[in-house]
Structure 1
Amino acid sequence: MATKTWKIEKDLCRCCHAEGTFDNLAEPRTFLEKEEVYSDMLRECLDLDIPPVPGELCAITYSICNACITRLRDACNFKKQVQDCEQRFMTLYYKNAIQGLNTETVVKEELEVSIDDNHSDDDIETIVLKKEEDDDDDSFMDRDDDDDDMSEDFAITKKPTTSMKTRSKPKAKPKAPPVKKEKPQPQPKKKAEPKPVKEKKGPVLYDDFTGTFDEAGGKTFTCNACGKVFGKRGNFSQHYRQVHLKQRPKLRGCRFCDVKVSPNLRAFHMEKHGLPAPSCGVCGKKFARPSEVLSHQRFYHMGEANYRCEPCDIGFMKNSGLQRHMAKHKSDKPFKCELCHKSYKWRNNLRTHIMVHTNVRPYVCKVCDKAFIQSSNLKYHMTTKHPNDD
């Protein structure tokens, strides 16, 4: 098996493996009148030490791209923000300068108070009485059963109507005889009605496709409306919803202006405000998301492939691309024209052929108004007949 080699033509970002013209990790840079050393920032903020390699690869492999610099700078600023907030909080806490809701309960102390007859009604309000310790055993035994639940210390909160010394204890009420409850007769159980099935929340999956299995067991989904092939059913549903049902994704607002764009075009719109879109450092191609840049570099520049054609050894990132390619190795042509019985391997070729019978020519030359069925024919016409015209 031949070993894979990695050919680096420009600087290599050690954080995302992008290639291009980048800044050195150890050289100091100035940003907003502050000096930055990216290797020190990685070590202090993320506890990561990226050492340079010796030899000729030292200079071109010890660099960092602009996208990673922005993310590193945000991480350092966030760490400093947390440290400053925590230091200020602890300083105020030890100075007792932070106040909260007072949820503590106040416990009143019991006081022994001697009561005279000369006190007024207002003076004897909320007085705490204590149980006498010299009670006789006979008086203790003569207590009613209802007095067992009373606590030893009790507080008077209402104004007494009689003298405190001559106050008599309330008599216990006679207990009523227990009433026997009749057991209810069991009622016949009602048949449980089936509960309505709740609709599951989530993306709607459409079924206007033709599913096929390959020899390896993988399934592909071919759209019945336009013939496009997808490796996942969710991708087909997204295509069917947006292209054929015209249900476009929700637009997101820009934080710098009033324009609303779709998520796929958001990165390209932000370039107008000075924020560069994720791009490949080797070929300069721009993408909507950083993950697409990594997939592009792994496939086109590093030679990685998830699926590979055995007859011709061509690699593909998705199974759907491999299935479209495998049609070249098959001799059957399932798509036939009903007018002239000409057959094709792909549905798109059949649709282009039908345009010959219907005389539909959507591509028109702006110079001589000559119309063509395919865009490639118009490009060839412009290069041969009108080479000096745009």
Structure 2
Amino acid sequence: MATKTWKIEKDLCRCCHGEGAFNNLAEPRTFLDKVEVYSDMLRECLDIDIPPVPGELCAITYTICNACIARLRDACNFKKQVQDCEQRFMTLYYKNAIQGLKPATKVKEEIEVSIEHAQSDTDADIVLKKEDEDDDDDNHFLGGDDDDGMSDDDLPIKPPKQSVSTMKTRPKPKPKPKAPPVVKKLKPPPKPKKAEPKPAKEKKGKYADEFTFTKKPDGGTEYACKHCQSVFRSNNSYVQHYRQVHLKERPKLRACHLCDVKVPGYMRAFHMEQHGLPAPTCGSCGKKFAYPHQVLRHQKTFHMGEKNFVCTTCNFKFSTNYDLKNHEKTHSSHKPFSCEYCNKTFRWKKSLKTHVMIHLGVKNHACAVCKAAFVQQSSLKYHMAKKHPENPNLY
């Protein structure tokens, strides 16, 4: 079977394979004062992830046409409409605020029914006599008895219906005298119970006894390790630290389906390159990453200059929320990290570690010329500039 070559001269829409001058999927666009990122809209609305391909085709094949943009926008609006309507319906339903109109019930007219009652012996005798007379008259006109020898006297006699007015009414029973009401004795009001303090909830988790937690002013929680005083912002980060650092449990290794080698998850993409499968790579600068979502984040940050996180104090923009949080610490006088030897406080954890090395006498930065050792790398650079200016390449 002959292979067909696909030559792309212009931008390619990844949704309909149309060619033209289109918009980038990862580039933010403003529509009706609303920022849209089409790759994110495809992922959130349709659960479709379109990754960029590495190499020269990255820029021209990671686009979308205007017709597909309109259809994608309609799908996102419809999804939001359904979600809002469903949320409002369930809210009103659980509040019993939805009532249905019941159909009007038709009232049927009552039919008068005559009630048959047992007759007394005297009434039955009068009725029998009247029927005998009537039977005689009938036999006279009909010409005597029937051929089979049965007369009308042999037939069973039905008592006539009696009107409701002839009914004998029973006397109503006399009402029984009511018992005198029992007067209930009022109980004295209960004494107010003393509010007992609620027992504190036990900390849940497999390693709950290995750390202490404190509430921050902004409502968050900090987790401090009891072994090394390291501070973490989430319980998951602490558990990972405790298992890998103190319990020496390394991350699980993933097996390669092409060979018998097992590597960590973040190294799997680089290992697969040995089998000819390229790792996720940026098409603009050729940088390689472990996961495809890191390529998109890299392209938005470094190549497109996307910076959506703004400092409220100095209006400085950042590409990630983590960088913004670190920057906001420079505007605050709060220094949470304190030295256990001299009680000096620091804003950054790295600064505290460097300061503690001074107390412990740990000097990891040594001069390659005179073997003088220093705690900080900046001290080593200053030493090289003053004592050995002829060797600028050594620092």
TM-score per shorter chain, which class? Answer: 0.3 to 0.5
TM-score by length of 1: 0.43
